[in-house]
Amino acid sequence: MPMPRFAIYVRTEDGTIWRHHEIAHQLPGFLDHPYVHEEALVGWPEAKVLWAEETGPTMGLAPVD
């Protein structure tokens, strides 16, 4: 079974979203926090991102198909 892959996203205080340039295959430390706040992505390679926090600055994981 292939390992899931995720793109790492960041949302800043002012709402700007940026995508980290690497794809994560293992996420040590990232899964300590539930990523449950789903948001659709438009204009990005991934269709959705799961944020750690609903609002404000946070990290997000986007499943890579």
Q: What is the pTM of this model?
A: 0.84
Q: Predicted confidence band at 22 (pLDDT cuts at 50, 70, 90)?
A: confident
Instruction: Supply the pLDDT for residue 29.
Output: 64
Q: How many CA atoms lie within 13 A of 26 on its CB side?
A: 1
Residue 30: strand, helix, or coil: helix
CB contact at 8 A, 51 and 33? no
Each residue's pLDDT tens digit, 26-65: 666 666 668 889 999 999 999 999 999 999 999 999 999 7
